[in-house]
Amino acid sequence: GEPAERAAPVTRLGLGWPGGVPDGGRHGFTPAHRAALEAALPGMAERIAAALDDDPRQSHDGSPRRVLVLGFEELMYAPLRLGTALEAALGTDTEVR
């Protein structure tokens, strides 16, 4: 059969997570947290999109084929919103799990 594709290298990014916004919902997530996250989402998505531009496994037009955003049960709101912002920034399919 076909040789398996090599996994992409892991890259850690500074997303610019808004100060004072929890990264999990264990201790609550207020309307003020939501507003701060919403304001920061476009910038965070742009930073991820810029990092994905360097992936050699892109589609013919240079955009990533698809993006998978992984979340965790305590607060799926942030991964869902980030996935939506990434889809808008990249113009490509984004799946959140």
What is the pLDDT, as a whole number, of residue 3? 64
Cα–Cα dist 31/55, whole Å: 36
What is the pLDDT, as a whole number, of residue 20? 93
Tokens 């947290």 belong to which residue? Answer: 33
What is the pLDDT, as a whole number, of residue 17? 94
- How many C-beta atoms lie closer than 10 Å to residue 31's C-beta? 7
Give the domain ranges of the chain: 31-96
Q: What is the mean pLDDT of the chain?
A: 83
Pick the range with the lowest mean pLDDT from 17-21, 25-29, 51-55, 93-97: 51-55
Tokens 């994905």 belong to which residue? Answer: 52
25 pLDDT band (50/70/90 cuts)? confident
Question: pLDDT of 31-56, one tens digit each?
Answer: 999 999 999 999 999 999 888 876 65
| pTM of this structure | 0.76
The encoded tokens of residue 36 equal 């701060």
